[in-house]
Every structure is written in C-alpha cells, then in structure tokens.
Amino acid sequence: MEKILLIEDDLDMQTLISDYLKNYDFEVTAYDKPKEALEHLKKNSDAYVIVVLDLMLPQMDGFDVCKRIRQLSSVPIIISSARGELSDKILGFDLGADDYLAKPYEPRELVIRINAILRRSLSIVKTVGDFEIDADKHEIKIDALLLDLTKIEYDILHLFLLNNGKVLSRESISNSVTGIEYNSKDRTIDMHISNIRQKIGDDSKDPQYIKSIWGIGYKFIG
C-alpha cells in the first residue's frame, strides 16, 4: 500500500481527503501542523510516495514548507490550496512542487493527479552524467554497469545524484537517509561514502565525482 503524507489544517478537508484516498488503497498520514509534519518527514524521508500540501497553514507559510520538504526529500509534492492565482502556481513550481490543485476540486481529481505522478516516477530512468537511476528497481548504474550497493549506500548516492552540484552537510545527509543518526564525532557517513567511492572507482585524493568540502560535507559533480 502506497503511503501519502497530507499536510492540511482544515480538519474537515483533512478527513475528506484521507477517507477518499483510503478508498483507493492509499495509506494516509495527516498533520495539521507543518512543523510536526516536517519533523516526521525528516525521520521517514523514504516512507512516502507523495506529499499533499495545503498552503494556508499555521506556524509556517505553505511555500516555506514546500521549500523545506524539497531540502529534506525528493518526494513528489502536490500543492492543494485555495490560493489559485497564477503567481502562486508559478512560485509553487519554482520551489519544487510537482503539481498544483486549486480548491475547490473533486477528490477524484486528486487521485488522478497522484496516479499520474506515480506512473511517471516508475517509468522514467533518470540519467545524471555517467549514472543511471532506476528508482523502481532501486538500482544505480555507472557507464551501464550495475553497482552493488547496500540500501544506505544506494540512498546516499541517490541523494547526491538528485542534488548534483550542491554541497550537502553531513547533518543533511543523515536527515535524508533512513538508518543514519548524525553525530559530529561519528565517522559513519564518511565510512559509507568511502565505500561508495570504491564502488564507483572514485579516488578520494583526486575525486572525479564526490568532493569533500572541508568543515561542511560533500559535493557530487556528475
């Protein structure tokens, strides 16, 4: 059963959407407070196939929540909001949303949008430089050769590939990858990255792909 994270502070709307999605065999976890939802997503970044996000929320503006989700995870985001102006839609897409539904809408349309995103995510093999990602098969290839990766190694390399050219701190890596707890004195992340480097033929002294950024973390160059 595919899992959906719903962030919606209108409890009547939250119940309506949750119940409707459950009828289509989706498992829904719902939050009305965005800060709690973000804390949950930090610890469960790989658990959800889609986030359905309202924009008019307490604690934080919905666009800030969208931006924060995209920093934590590559999970697809569908904005569900009464703010239907074109400028809002453009900003939502610029911040990383994958779709935008202006309220009011029929719940069936949300199901159609969710299924469309899931079909795209399953059918597309992404290419980043010398690498190919098949998220459906949980596989990464380099120069068409399949890499023998553990789950954590796959998740870290996948995170790097999705953030090609960006500097990622060790803390942000631990927040995005299930199974790693961040500790500034712990070398666990460095150990996993050392293993990845060996498997992709990357020399740590003269790296082609994974560059160490002193005092911060790493940057992947595809």
Contacts by residues 86-90 (CB-CB < 8 Å, ≥ 24 positions apart): 88/55
Residue 78 pairs in a beta bridge with 52, 99
Q: What is the pLDDT of residues 139-187, one digit of tens each?
A: 999 998 999 999 999 999 999 998 889 899 888 888 888 777 766 666 8
Cβ(51)–Cβ(5) under 8 Å?
yes
Instruction: Tell me the average pLDDT of the chain.
Output: 90
Question: Which residue in 222, 13, 198, 37 sits closest to 104, CA to CA?
Answer: 13
Fold of 2-123: Rossmann fold (3.40.50)
Considering the entire predicted model, what is its pTM? 0.57
Q: Do domains 2-123 and 126-220 have the same CATH topology?
A: no
Domain ranges, ordered by start, for the chain:
2-123, 126-220
Dihedral sign, CA of 122, 42, 77, 32? positive
CATH of 126-220, one of 2.40.160.40, 2.40.110.10, 3.40.50.1460, 1.10.10.10: 1.10.10.10
14, two tokens? 């939250």
